[in-house]
A and B are shown apart, each in its own frame.
Chain A
């Protein structure tokens, strides 16, 4: 055993000392995906090509892209690390991310595909007043994308210190800049088609790498889950050692906080604008259904793999070594890769982690750009009077603006504890987007006022509660350290902000006001279920 721990200690130092291999594997990924992006860019003429990849992807391809978009670095590094350190509670966290897809499959995906064109706002404003509803939907879309994007860019900086041994601010800022510029190039040249291919390639690499490591870990443990758990317990430093097998290590202190997070995860996924936009890249509602089915299998299998990887890292690397390494909890997966396959597997997994950030930020950027150009510019400001290529031109400029903002933001928040931003993005998606999506698809009496109240109210509730929470006030890890008292006691706003979003949507619709257009409501009803008149794939 001593030899083994010696090897692991070498790993911790080698993680910092072997950046050239890591960088060259990542450079190979960039070269391959850039080649695909440039090839894919040949047919990027119309808005449908640029935003929705000509609606030409198949269900399985889109399923891979959805998983590539959804399995962020937080999922891969964060959940593996959480299971390695806290055992069961990390696993509990991962389940919400999977179950959430049933909301998308059963209630949202196909009906959205049938009634929309490019963005979430297309569906929400279908039978309500275009101007106010589209504006509100675009603002919540931009808010979710911005929170998520900032979290990913800051994560890129953290990942660099872990994988390349770059610990100084300037070095990390340069890497954030490189990630941002690559993202701008991908999205600018490749549009949705290029972005989708980056996500597909990344999903293959990520799931492939996780499968190899899982089989390896299981082989060491005689292909028995029980043996794996036994060795994880033996290496555990908790008191009692087998605490990692049951709940409580991570969320035991304040169970309501986890419940609030769980509600936001389950209801937020189907309201994430970059996920919704992926449904428009396939030709029919049936393909949208197939893509969600593929995504559910891929994402579910991936989280099952992280269970093995997490306990594997606990037993093969050990929680003390993980916590002592530069990246802390997030280094569990890379350290496990090193313990199993040496520098090459470590380099591969590190490159995949980078590719993950790149693919996720590209998806967010094209969603935000589409929402600004299509909803705010073309439909609200210009009232639909834009030349055929005008919208895409604005979208491309927006991509550059968002990319630059993301780089500045990502550099600005270096070293800040911004882990709450991903949870906040889910909370906003669940509080501001999902109520209006469900009401407008399923509730005939839903009105413009309800939609606007629900979207702005849900957004404001989630943000205000976060600003009043321990994330900002009163604790050791707060933004304002040990200053003031948190008025809202939980780190997650969902448990209150989601009911507020649903309540305001109902209230705004029943208090009276203008009647909505009955013909449009009937049209939405018929088209959402039958698929008649849905946007078709473009021919080239």
Chain B
């Protein structure tokens, strides 16, 4: 390291390469990515499907479903519903699946630091 490292210097003797290789950390990483990557692709596909339909199929989106409520308006409100839904799902998943593992790793590393 020739660069000056002024930011957030590693606090004490933690072997990050070893920690990264542990099955526990690999599990955390896998569980994090296997949730956030597919979910991100899903909401982006759904959003751009909605944008493309609005752009290139205006008659389809202007169809009335009930009274003056159009299909486009319902799909647009659907974007709100899915955004709120994904948000709550992620919070539940993070609280139940990710946080316990990361808290465990954090506690272990803090113990290592105290021992070092």
Contacts and interface: CB of A to CB of B under 8 A. Distances in A.
Given A91-B76, A519-B17, A106 B40 contact: yes
Contact of A245 (B5, B47, B48, B62): B62
B29 to A, nearest CB: 6
A contact patch SS: helix
Interface string B31-44: 01101100110011
Contacts of A251: 54-55
A124 to B, nearest CB: 11
Given A379-B6, A525-B20, A526-B16, A252 B58 contact: yes
Interface residues of B, number: 62
Contact of B84 (A107, A229, A300): A300
Nearest to A258: B55
A122 interface: yes
Contacts of A442: 33
Given A91-B73, A245-B68, A259-B51, A522 B16 contact: yes
Given A88-B76, A526-B20, 8 more contacts: A98-B80, A106-B86, A226-B68, A229-B67, A247-B61, A255-B55, A518-B17, A522-B19
A225 B69 contact: yes
A289 B94 contact: yes
Contacts of A517: 1
A446 B55 CA distance: 36
Contacts of A258: 51, 55
A352 interface: no
B40 A529 contact: no
Contact of B72 (A88, A105, A256, A297): A88
A372 B1 CA distance: 24
A247 B54 contact: yes
Given A262-B48, A384-B4, A526-B20, A92 B83 contact: no
Contact of A131 (B3, B28, B76, B77): B3
Given A103-B40, A246-B70, A300-B83, A117 B7 contact: yes
B91 to A, nearest CB: 6
A113 B75 CA distance: 34
B91 A289 contact: yes
Interface of A: 88-89, 91-92, 95-96, 98-99, 101-103, 105-107, 115-117, 122, 125-126, 129-131, 225-226, 229-230, 233, 242, 245-248, 251-252, 255-256, 258-259, 262, 266, 286, 289, 293, 296-297, 300, 303-304, 378-379, 383-384, 442, 517-520, 522-523, 525-527, 529-533, 535
Contacts, number: 183
Contact of B80 (A92, A115, A131, A304): A304
A103 B72 CA distance: 23
Given A102-B40, A246-B70, A259-B51, A530 B62 contact: no
A230 B70 CA distance: 12
B68 A229 contact: yes
Interface in B77-115: 77, 79-80, 83-84, 86-87, 90-91, 94, 99, 102, 105-106, 109-110
A329 to B, nearest CB: 20
A240 to B, nearest CB: 10
A130 B4 contact: yes
Contacts of A89: 54
Contacts of B40: 102-103, 106-107
Contact of A122 (B7, B50, B51, B70): B7
Contacts of B48: 259, 262
Contacts of B56: 255
B55 A296 contact: no
B11 interface: yes
